[in-house]
Amino acid sequence: MSDKWQPTIVGFFCNWCTYTAADLAGVSRMKYPATVRVIRLMCSGRVDPQFILKAFAGGADGVLIGGCHPGDCHYLEGNYKALRRFEMMKKLIAGFGIDEKRLRLEWISAAEGEKVKRVIEEMTQQVQELGPLDVPKIFAGWDEELDKLEEEIKKEAEEPSHV
């Protein structure tokens, strides 16, 4: 692996397709960047938009959702729900100042180990180009101003103001 900065990508993979595909990639000894932390869910329809925001808020640089191809959902409609939420989430995170390229949805069937590898490689490169998001650091930067008050109060005690 190169010395390049490696992003942290949270992957929400559906149990029936993409997770099985990732497993297949593993047993087939395919190599891909170790940037994705996979969370296995029963269905891409289970990917609550709160999970996506929580991943970004917790320090993820990207979020990858993997589900079954349209028509193949184990629960019939789960992946359509995932698709609609994904389209809305792209608009939402853009409103919060997060590049929509940091969020990706892919349909990967259980047989497509090769696609898992390709998608992770592509997404890793794309997020590398965007650079770190690091929301906890942004929050810490915002909150630095809260420490200032203590100093102000101390200063005020030494030099009282007259209005």
Cα Rg, the chain, nearest whole Å: 21
What is the smallest separation between the CB atom of 49 and other proteins, expressed in angstroms?
Answer: 4
Kindly determine how many residues on this chain lie close enough to bind other proteins according to the rule CB under 8 A.
Answer: 40
Strand, helix or coil at 64? strand
Residue found by looking up tokens 């640089």 in the block: 61
Among 98, 108, 119, 123, binds other proteins (CB under 8 A): 98
Among 4, 39, 70, 111, binds other proteins (CB under 8 A): 70
DSSP 69: P
Name every residue whose Cβ is closer than 8 Å to that of residue 126 and which is 6 or more positions away in sequence.
Answer: 62, 101
| List of residues contacting other proteins (CB under 8 A) | 45, 48-50, 52-54, 56-57, 70, 80-81, 83-85, 87-89, 91-92, 95-98, 133, 135, 138-139, 141-142, 145-146, 148-149, 152-153, 159, 161-163
